[in-house]
Amino acid sequence: MKIVGQCYCGQVSFEAEIQADKVRVCHCVDCQTLSGSAFRTNVPVAQGTFVLKSGEPKTFVKAGDSGNRLLHAFCPDCGTPIYSAVPGDPPSYSLRVGTLDRRAELLPARQIWCRSALPWTSDLNLPGAERLERQ
């Protein structure tokens, strides 16, 4: 599915082809903290299709529980989280669903890191979304 997206203030914009059948809700503590919410919803990008159209996100690198490094990108002005990326050639991007123009069409297929989920999220109505304790 082709999408376009942007941050809240519009400074950072992009386009990509996403894997719409692989939308994930992540309940890990990092996603809770980085989103300022109970979870974060992400969708992977088809390899080599992410194109930054305007602006330049600010980035930082975080090591996950596995020790793998993950680049996080956000708007330097409004702070909107844009994506995370696994370093490589080309990088493997995961976009934040809230920044996408077609977000209402995306249904989560999987919930990951449910062992870290806040108790009140267990009643979320996500039909057909597989629940995994880890990733």
* C-beta of residue 19 within 8 angstroms of C-beta of residue 10: no
Q: Which residues contact 135 (CB under 8 A, 6 or more apart)?
A: 28, 112, 113
| Mean pLDDT along residues 12-18 | 98
**pTM recorded for the entire structure:** 0.88
Task: Name the residue among 128, 114, 85 with its Cα closest to residue 25.
Answer: 114
**Does residue 7 surpass a pLDDT of 90?**
yes
pLDDT reported for residue 53 = 98
Measure the CA–CA gap between 130 and 46, rounded to whole angstroms.
22
Model pLDDT, residue 83: 96
- Per-residue confidence (pLDDT) for residue 102, from 0 to 100: 95
DSSP label at 115?
Answer: G
Per-residue pLDDT at 132 exceeds 80: no
Q: Which pLDDT belongs to residue 121?
A: 85
Hey, what are 22's tokens? 């692989």
Q: pLDDT, tens digit, for every residue of 41-94? A: 999 999 999 999 999 999 999 887 677 888 999 999 999 999 999 887 778 999
Domains and CATH numbers, the chain: 2-23+41-112 (2.170.150.70)
